[in-house]
Chains A and B, each alone.
Chain A
Amino acid sequence: QKEVEQNSGPLSVPEGAIASLNCTYSDRGSQSFFWYRQYSGKSPELIMFIYSNGDKEDGRFTAQLNKASQYVSLLIRDSQPSDSATYLCAVNWKRGGSYIPTFGRGTSLIVHP
């Protein structure tokens, strides 16, 4: 059973702080990792993807991947109230000739003014 684990939260941070979201996965063979943001009642939308060990930065967001420890994290700098949402970690497992996206349960982030 392929698993993606996230702390459901909520994670509460003050405006302007760094929010740190973590995710672990069970399959060492996984190659691609994704962070999605989902506002209440809406569909998820991609924030970032990462394939290689290390950090990947995009604006206020940084994804970090450590394949040896099987975790991937998302840092949000200068958090804003508009960042309040559920953040979903996804891992694409290889099955036959396809890569199947599997999601964690999501971490609820609350950024308070």
Chain B
Amino acid sequence: SQTIHQWPATLVQPVGSPLSLECTVEGTSNPNLYWYRQAAGRGLQLLFYSIGIGQISSEVPQNLSASRPQDRQFILSSKKLLLSDSGFYLCAWKATSTGELFFGEGSRLTVL
């Protein structure tokens, strides 16, 4: 069966520091992968999606970037964090048969 993991679960970072969140999927090949951010009391905002290795689509202009170095690995990065980057970051893969998303456990980022 398919599983998805992301880490770290929680992190507190100062403004201007770098960020790296990692997500890996097991049990499926060539998954469509997504990074969402959920600010406090808000819905899920799509940040990036990827349909294959090295293929990244960005949804919103911001200081974040994403990479997909391997088929089942998706990384979210920033060189310099802003206060507004605080939130709950969710990685997900999409089942091609139904279109439903399966989410990782989430990474809660607080920028101080």
Contacts and interface: CB of A to CB of B under 8 A. Distances in A.
B34 A101 contact: yes
A88 B104 contact: no
Contacts of B90: 43-44
A43 to B, nearest CB: 4
Contact of A99 (B36, B99, B104, B108): B99
Contact of A101 (B99, B104, B105, B106): B99
B84 interface: no
Interface residues of B, number: 22
Contacts of A25: none
Interface residues of A, number: 24
Q: What DSSP secondary structure best describes chain A's contact surface?
A: strand
Given A103-B44, A106-B43, A46 B99 contact: no
22 contacts: A6-B43, A32-B98, A34-B99, A34-B101, A41-B108, A42-B106, A43-B103, A43-B105, A43-B106, A44-B90, A45-B103, A49-B98, A49-B99, A49-B100, A90-B101, A98-B32, A98-B49, A99-B94, A100-B46, A103-B44, A104-B43, A106-B43
